[in-house]
Amino acid sequence: MSQPPVIMVVGMAGSGKTTFMQRLNAHLHQKKEPPYIVNLDPAVKNVPFDRHIDIRDSVNYKQVMKQYNLGPNGGIMTCLNLFATKIDQVMGILEKRAPTISRVLVDTPGQIECFVWSASGAIVTDALASAFPTVLAYIIDTPRTTSTSTFMSNMLYACSILYKTKLPMIIVFNKTDAQDALFAKEWMTDFEAFQAALRKEEEKEDGSNSGYMGSLMNSMSLMLDEFYNHLDVVSVSSMTGAGIDEFFKAVDSKVEEYKKDYLPELEKARKEREAKKMANQNEQLDRLMADMNVASESSWKKPKKDIKVPASEPEIDTLSDAADSDSDEIMEGEADVEDDTNDGRMGNPSLTDRYEQALHKEGQEDAHGESFMRYLNAPR
């Protein structure tokens, strides 16, 4: 059975991600295909839909900020880092529920840079993409994109996310009930239309049709032309539900693209990592074996120095022979061995004489010392 697709909803704060998630959830429930919802936003207060996995159940955003003395963005990143340490458990739950669910919806923080460019965000994204067909849905606030500069900023941001995650992406122009997205689609498909809109804005602002910003956006629009060709663009209204069916059709096409283009790249990268890991293990094993060979050669194969044995002394073959030879030396009465007498004196006569002389001299010194003390203490 094929794995259910994962839809990761990303976008700027205020673009309508939560309302879009709510609309997707209601649409799938209406079709009797309930999704599995994962919330990765630790700072959200109220979520208008049920969650199966919620980061807020694992970490407390306010307590993290207080404990680590962090700001809002730092608190979100730290919460994601803490949650990423348990991603294996999350993946185990998702793989267990996979046969019974149609899709997995993942809601991400509004501070998108905290998720996309952090190490924890990459860990979560890579873990999901390695097990499930994963699609990015980049939500754009259509009424705020009517300006050419804002439109270009959104496109550059989407381009950077695409090349950072290397996953299929769908551009979703949201809030089309307030502003139609036909102008944005035209700018993405017709370079001359974007140039005309850019000149119109420049003339309206300062009466000129040239400038640094105009030249820069002209160059960027030419650069993004190839980027537009790899995107699916849909316009939806999270309030009315318009365009949701088109969005799911785009998701299905991106799943096929994932299987055709992205999955082989992921498997190739995985094999390269495994091969590199195996090569490192083999290199370490070779070093260990080389060290063991060097140690064995130095301890066993290293030639010993020739020891000359006097001809008069017999060779010692066993440990018992060595013990017998030691006992023989003791019986012969060497200078550093005690004699059999009980007075504790050394067996060498010369040492005995020197010992007695030392005692006699010490006794004399004590006698002289006592007479001198008597002389001092005598009454006068």
Q: pLDDT tens for residues 214-244?
A: 778 877 887 787 788 878 999 999 999 999 9
Give mean pLDDT, residues 303-316: 49
> What confidence score (pLDDT) does residue 297 get?
61
Q: pLDDT band for position 105 (50/70/90)?
A: very high
For residue 162, give the nearest of 216, 228, 80 by alpha carbon: 228
Distances in Å between the Cα of 163 and the Cα atoms of 11, 40, 239 are 16, 21, 31
Distance of alpha carbon 300 from alpha carbon 321, whole angstroms: 25
Residue 77 has pLDDT above 60, yes or no: yes
> What confidence score (pLDDT) does residue 322 get?
44
Percent of the chain clearing pLDDT 70 (strictly above)? 75
pLDDT, greater one: 162 or 1: 162
Residue 340 has pLDDT above 50, yes or no: no
Residue 163 has pLDDT above 80, yes or no: yes
Average pLDDT of the chain is: 80
The residues, any chain, with a CB within 8 Å of residue 48's CB and separated by 6 or more, are 18, 22
Q: pLDDT tens for residues 247-264?
A: 999 999 999 988 888 878
What sign has the CA pseudo-torsion 306, 312, 316, 322?
negative
For residue 56, give the nearest of 42, 45, 67 by alpha carbon: 42
The string of DSSP codes covering 292-317 is: HHHHHIIIIISPPPP----TTSPPP-
Residue 38 has pLDDT above 80, yes or no: yes
Q: pLDDT band for position 349 (50/70/90)?
A: low
Do 138 and 171 form a contact (C-beta atoms < 8 A)? yes
> What confidence score (pLDDT) does residue 277 get?
85
Cα 356 from chain centroid (whole Å): 82
Query: Domains of the chain by range and CATH?
Result: 6-179+231-269 (3.40.50.300)
Q: How far apart are the first and last CA of the chain?
A: 126
Q: pLDDT tens for residues 278-299?
A: 888 888 888 888 887 766 666 5
> What confidence score (pLDDT) does residue 331 get?
43
Give mean pLDDT, residues 339-361: 53
This prediction has a pTM of 0.70
Q: Which residue has the tokens 């959830």?
A: 25
> What confidence score (pLDDT) does residue 323 get?
44
The string of DSSP codes covering 259-297 is: IIIIHHHHHHHHHHHHHHHHHHHHHHHHHHHHHHHHHHI
Q: pLDDT band for position 174 (50/70/90)?
A: very high
Type of residue numbered 166: K
> What confidence score (pLDDT) does residue 318 get?
41
Residue 69: count of CB within 10 angstroms of its CB: 8
